[in-house]
């Protein structure tokens, strides 16, 4: 069993009095992804590419269609947090049918996951951050369940006003409590007078990454497709959660042994994108987007080709598209360079 970070974080808090939730989440997730393969039945959760090959194939065809309508320039396929490399392998296979064989670049810091990705996409090039991605060609960027794992800040409305939530050492473990410093200026004006106990979440790292990616797209051309679960950011709410062994867990217990995530604020990502010379598409529901891209036809073809897998294909199709499964909770946001064609699926 992999060790957790309890003692290390407890010592850090003892020295400083507290750490921000953002710092806690960043340390916990960095350790978590560096020390395990979190996916599949033996891991903690499953993502859309692992549910069905159809997911990656449809994304690959979407990118190939966009590339063709952009007059087929030399380009690079970029994936942020590519998991086991399953999505990329499926997408690249579909792209190849459409005569697109781009150079592949993965932004991934986990040595263990890099090994998994190397088995599926051996010719990929790996990057620790987006700073070293190619600068000489358009980028076809995919971020599937990437932004949700980036660390968040939480602010809570107290009787004395807004305070950032911090983690302290408690009698029975870590405790999430209001900090001492006023934080009213960090709260959007439409939420500033929310009821006591209300929580507002912000994700500075996500906004910074979105800004840098959009700057790249504006200079180089290309598109970003971001798929995640989230909301438009107009309301308060505590969405921090931990997943361990496919079940919800205490986010503060055993840091580094559970996957910590929070809903993505698509409104904040859009605001960051709109500061640059790019076009924004969506967000739209994942189910709606996949159906618009022809997932129904792909599922029917798979079922005909491999009738022994028909039930499996039907179950995967429902899970990806049905409103009670992933169809509405997950959203798809597109960002494209000005002058590039609009990506399909956004209406």
Q: Domains of the chain, with CATH numbers?
A: 50-148+213-229+262-337 (3.40.50.150)
Distance of CA 29 to the CA centre of its chain: 13
Mean of the per-residue pLDDT values of the chain? 94
Do 198 and 157 meet the contact criterion of CB atoms below 8 Å apart?
yes
Secondary structure (3-state) at 198: coil
Residue 232: pLDDT band by 50, 70, 90 thresholds?
confident
- How far is Cα 286 from Cα 291, in angstroms, rounded to an integer? 9
Residue 1: pLDDT band by 50, 70, 90 thresholds?
low
Q: For 176, list phi and psi in degrees, rounded to 5.
A: -100, 115
Closest CA to 24 of 154, 115, 134: 154
- Residues 273-309: tens digit of each pLDDT: 999 999 999 999 999 999 999 999 999 998 898 889 8
**Average pLDDT, integer, range 14-37:** 94
Please tell me the least confidently modeled range out of 169-183, 209-223, 227-241: 227-241
Residue 76: pLDDT band by 50, 70, 90 thresholds?
very high
| Whole-number Cα distances in Å, 314 to 59, 287, 292 | 19, 14, 17
Distance of CA 321 to the CA centre of its chain: 18
The secondary structure of residue 72, as a DSSP letter, is -
**Average pLDDT, integer, range 106-115:** 95
- pTM attached to this predicted model: 0.94
- Would you state the torsion angle of the CA atoms of residues 310, 312, 315, 319, taken in this order, to the nearest 10 degrees? -130
Q: For 137, list phi and psi in degrees, rounded to 5.
A: -160, 165
- How far is Cα 200 from Cα 229, in angstroms, rounded to an integer? 17
pLDDT at 2: 58
Q: For 251, list phi and psi in degrees, rounded to 5.
A: -60, -25
């Amino acid at each position: 069993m992999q060790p957790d970070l309890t003692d290390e974080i407890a010592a850090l808090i003892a020295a400083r009095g507290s750490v921000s939730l953002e710092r806690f989440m960043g340390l916990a997730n960095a350790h978590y992804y560096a020390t395990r393969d979190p996916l599949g039945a033996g891991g903690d959760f499953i993502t859309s590419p692992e549910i069905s090959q159809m997911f990656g194939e449809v994304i690959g065809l979407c990118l190939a269609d966009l590339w063709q309508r952009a007059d087929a320039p030399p380009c690079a396929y970029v994936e942020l947090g590519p998991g086991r490399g399953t999505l990329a392998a499926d997408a690249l296979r579909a792209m190849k049918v459409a005569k697109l064989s781009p150079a592949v670049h993965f932004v991934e810091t986990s040595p263990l996951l890099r090994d998994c990705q190397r088995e599926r996409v051996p010719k990929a090039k790996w990057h620790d951050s987006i700073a070293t991605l190619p600068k000489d060609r358009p980028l076809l960027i995919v971020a599937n369940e990437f932004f949700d794992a980036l660390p968040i800040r939480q602010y809570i409305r107290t009787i004395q006003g807004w305070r950032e939530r911090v983690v302290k050492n408690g009698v029975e473990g870590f405790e999430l409590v209001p900090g001492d410093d006023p934080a009213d200026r960090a709260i959007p004006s439409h939420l500033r007078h929310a009821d006591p106990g209300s929580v507002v979440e912000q994700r500075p790292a996500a906004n910074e990454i979105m800004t840098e990616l959009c700057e790249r797209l504006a200079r180089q051309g290309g598109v970003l497709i971001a798929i995640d679960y989230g909301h438009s950011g107009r309301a308060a709410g505590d969405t921090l959660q931990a997943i361990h062994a496919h079940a919800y867990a205490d986010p503060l217990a055993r840091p580094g042994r559970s996957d910590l995530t929070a809903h993505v604020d698509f409104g904040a990502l859009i605001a960051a994108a709109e500061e640059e010379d790019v076009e924004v598409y969506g967000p739209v529901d994942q189910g709606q987007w996949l159906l618009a891209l022809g997932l129904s036809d792909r599922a029917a073809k798979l079922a005909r080709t491999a009738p022994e897998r028909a039930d499996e294909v039907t179950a995967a199709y429902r899970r990806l598209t049905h409103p009670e499964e992933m169809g509405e909770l997950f959203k798809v946001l597109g960002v494209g360079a000005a002058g590039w064609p609009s990506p399909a699926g956004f209406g």
